[in-house]
């Protein structure tokens, strides 16, 4: 308990706030020692394995399959079989029942999933509990609602499923990205082979248990774990009709090159370097909360993170001062502690990448600020970081760091803000802080970004389409738009079962 300051007669306040640990119990989830691939509704013994660890303690959590070409092939065959023998012909209302069931089971088991997500990925439990899990369930609920209304969503176009979808997801929102991909695919009558990221396979594997509980027909969803080689095998497989990928721009480009001319459909959700633009008429304290949420949420492992802060010159000093003060109150540490704001960096490799980009910022002449905080000895950690004195040409203003690192730049006029904000090869998201509605609309029309938030940041909703411009990819996930990549229409080629 913090020592009380009794120098004042009334309302004694602690001299410094310390938090007693409030760890969430790990007992709620049972992790198996070893997991296989989930193919055709069965656990299929793999030929190779690797250990998945907890990034906050480096302790091994389980052994999982390193999927081979043969494993991917078996999964695609199972998915094709399930597509041809029932799933694609099932009525929309029947498919919806399964999706509703999955959504409800996720809700019921949300604590178990949240703990596992934080253990395997390093994100704070309050985020996995309050953001990842509710949103994952919401995606299944939302797309369950569309399953029997596709004719109304796309009138006179005779929507039909595409076939077998190969889905490759990253490690920053493991279960949520699974939900973004699996829910619309199933709602439209497709079957799925999904590859989770190498470092975060465990919630996808627990999800197989949900599929069994929901009595989903065998082969409709197949999960093959492994590293990039497993993803590449899925991309290359001739039996896959569509690839949905979320990850780095580099791998996205390689996939696009690989698929050119094959007739396979492709959606890519790639990197970002979002501008968060604060005008001098905005509510500063509210903006500071938005900036913090924009870049330190999920350790900055967010494709749409507000990693470039543009501040109108007249408020630069007070805003940066408030921001630095706010950073001193962020608690970095054990992801399972309910007080934690910033958890562990997902992997040693990602930590190395963050360190080297931060070093480049220092070397190029930016001024670094990190609040005093004691980082745990074991595990992968990086203190919340702010760079000021940043020039647009610096690597920290150009490249996706994917860590808790903010670059602060300035502007004078709205035109200049637009020009600087759009000066990036990416175009995934942006934020605008101002009290003027007309300025919000003016800015939103000019920002080359798939999502523009106004007086908020990092808000997600299954009804709202999400996706990029330029090197942030193409195709939309979420909303009615998110159905289209999983449907084929009259006049388009169809891969018949
Ligand atoms: P990747 O793009 O490599 O990973 C995304 C997914 O693709 C993972 O499942 C990965 O498997 C798989 N994959 C890797 N190589 C291939 C391939 N050749 N063919 C098919 N699938 C493949 O991202 P990283 O995890 O390596 O992260 C690197 C950087 O990418 C980060 O530092 C960050 O900047 C950015 N990133 C952006 C994301 C976003 O949402 N925009 C998400 C994740 C990363 P495996 O996990 O085994 O590598």
82-99: per-residue pLDDT in tens? 999 999 999 999 999 999
Residue range 93-115: mean pLDDT, rounded: 98
Residue 15 has pLDDT above 90, yes or no: no
Residue 19 has pLDDT above 90, yes or no: no
Residue 86 CA neighbour count, 13 Å, CB half: 11
Q: Given this model, what pLDDT does residue 20 score?
A: 87
- Asked if residue 200 lies in contact with residue 121, where contact means CB atoms within 8 angstroms, the answer is yes
Which ligand 1 atom sits closest to the C-alpha of 255? 19
Active site residues: 269, 303
| Helix 284-296 / helix 316-327 crossing angle, nearest 10 deg | 50
Chain position carrying tokens 């939103």: 444
Residue range 70-79: mean pLDDT, rounded: 98
**Closest by alpha carbon to 289, among 325, 249, 245, 340?**
325
Chain position carrying tokens 């999502």: 451
Sheet with strand 42-44: strands edge to edge: 42-44, 37-39, 221-223, 191-195, 164-168, 242-246, 265-269, 473-474
Q: In the beta sheet, which residues pair with residue 411?
A: 312
Any ligand 1 atom below 6 A from CB of 136: no
Could you report the per-residue pLDDT of 160-185, keeping only the tens digit for each?
999 999 999 999 999 999 999 999 99
- Asked if residue 71 lies in contact with residue 44, where contact means CB atoms within 8 angstroms, the answer is yes
Choose between 252 and 491: higher pLDDT.
Answer: 252
- Asked if residue 309 lies in contact with residue 457, where contact means CB atoms within 8 angstroms, the answer is no
Nearest 5°: CA angle at 10, between 4 and 16?
Answer: 25
Strand 191-195, strand 405-411: pairing: unpaired
Any ligand 1 atom below 6 A from CB of 259: no
> All domains of the chain, ordered by start, with CATH?
37-270+471-489 (3.40.605.10), 275-461 (3.40.309.10)
CA 112 → CA 106, 119, 198, 457, distances in Å?
9, 11, 21, 28
| Whole-number Å distance between alpha carbons of 396 and 386 | 11
Ligand 1 centroid–CA 472 distance in Å is 13
Q: Which of 121, 170, 256, 401 to mutate to test the pocket of ligand 1 (most atoms within 8 A of CB)?
A: 170
Q: Which of 171, 180, 251, 353 to mutate to test the pocket of ligand 1 (most atoms within 8 A of CB)?
A: 251
CA 224 → CA 36, 118, 192, distances in Å?
8, 21, 11
Output the CA torsion 399→400→405→406 (10° steps). Answer: 70
Residue range 319-334: mean pLDDT, rounded: 97
Quote the tokens at residue 439: 């300025």
Classify residue 129 by its DSSP letter.
I
| Whole-number Å distance between alpha carbons of 197 and 195 | 7
Q: Given this model, what pLDDT does residue 13 score?
A: 61
Give this prediction's pTM. Answer: 0.95
| Whole-number Å distance between alpha carbons of 143 and 287 | 33
Lowest mean pLDDT among 15-19, 226-230, 399-403: 15-19
Cβ atoms within 10 A of the Cβ of 463, count?
12
Residue 496 has pLDDT above 60, yes or no: no
Ligand 1 centroid–CA 257 distance in Å is 16
Return all residues near 21 (Cβ < 8 A) that are at least 6 apart.
334, 337, 339
């Amino acid at each position: 308990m913090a020592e009380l300051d009794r120098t004042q007669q009334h309302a004694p306040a602690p001299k410094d706030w310390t938090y007693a640990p409030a760890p969430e119990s790990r007992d709620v989830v049972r992790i198996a020692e070893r997991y296989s691939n989930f193919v055709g509704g069965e656990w299929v013994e793999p030929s190779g394995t690797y250990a998945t660890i907890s990034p906050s303690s480096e302790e091994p959590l389980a052994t999982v399959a390193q999927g081979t070409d043969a494993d991917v092939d078996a999964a695609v065959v199972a998915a094709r079989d399930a597509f041809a023998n029932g799933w694609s012909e099932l009525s929309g209302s029947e498919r919806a029942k399964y999706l509703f069931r999955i959504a409800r089971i996720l809700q019921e088991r949300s604590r178990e999933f949240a703990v596992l997500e934080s253990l395997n990925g390093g994100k704070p439990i309050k985020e996995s509990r309050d953001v990842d899990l509710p949103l994952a369930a919401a995606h299944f609920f939302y797309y369950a609602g569309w399953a029997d209304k596709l004719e109304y969503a796309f009138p006179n176009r005779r929507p039909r499923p595409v076939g077998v979808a190969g889905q490759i997801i990253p490690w920053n929102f493991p279960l949520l990205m699974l939900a973004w991909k699996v829910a619309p695919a199933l709602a439209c009558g497709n079957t799925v082979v999904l590859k989770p990221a190498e470092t975060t396979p465990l919630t996808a594997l627990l999800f197989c248990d949900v599929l069994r509980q929901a009595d989903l027909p065998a082969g409709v969803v197949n999960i093959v774990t492994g590293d990039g080689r497993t993803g590449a095998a899925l991309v290359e497989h001739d039996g896959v009709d569509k690839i949905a990928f979320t990850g780095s721009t580099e791998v996205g480009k390689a996939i696009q090159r690989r698929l050119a001319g094959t007739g396979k459909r492709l959606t890519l959700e790639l990197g970002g370097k979002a501008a968060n633009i604060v005008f001098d008429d905005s509510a500063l304290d509210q903006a500071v909360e938005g900036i913090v949420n924009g870049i330190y949420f999920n350790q900055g492992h967010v494709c749409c993170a507000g990693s470039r802060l543009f501040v109108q010159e007249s408020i630069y000093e007070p805003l940066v001062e408030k921001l630095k003060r706010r950073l001193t109150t962020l608690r970095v540490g054990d992801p399972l502690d309910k007080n934690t704001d910033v958890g562990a960096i997902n992997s040693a490799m990602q930590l190395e990448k963050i360190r080297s980009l931060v070093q480049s910022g220092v070397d190029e002449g930016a001024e670094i600020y990190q609040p005093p905080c004691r980082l745990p000895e074991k595990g992968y950690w990086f203190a919340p970081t702010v760079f000021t004195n940043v020039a647009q040409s610096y690597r920290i203003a150009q490249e996706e760091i994917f860590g808790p690192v903010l670059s602060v730049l300035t502007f004078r006029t709205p035109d200049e803000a637009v020009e600087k904000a759009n000066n990036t090869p990416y175009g995934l998201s942006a934020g605008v802080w101002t009290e003027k509605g007309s300025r919000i609309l003016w800015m939103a029309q000019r920002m080359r970004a798939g999502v523009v938030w106004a007086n908020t940041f990092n808000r997600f909703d299954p009804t709202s389409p999400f996706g990029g411009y330029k090197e942030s990819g193409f195709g939309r996930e979420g909303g009615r738009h998110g159905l289209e990549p999983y449907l084929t229409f009259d006049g388009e080629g169809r891969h018949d079962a």
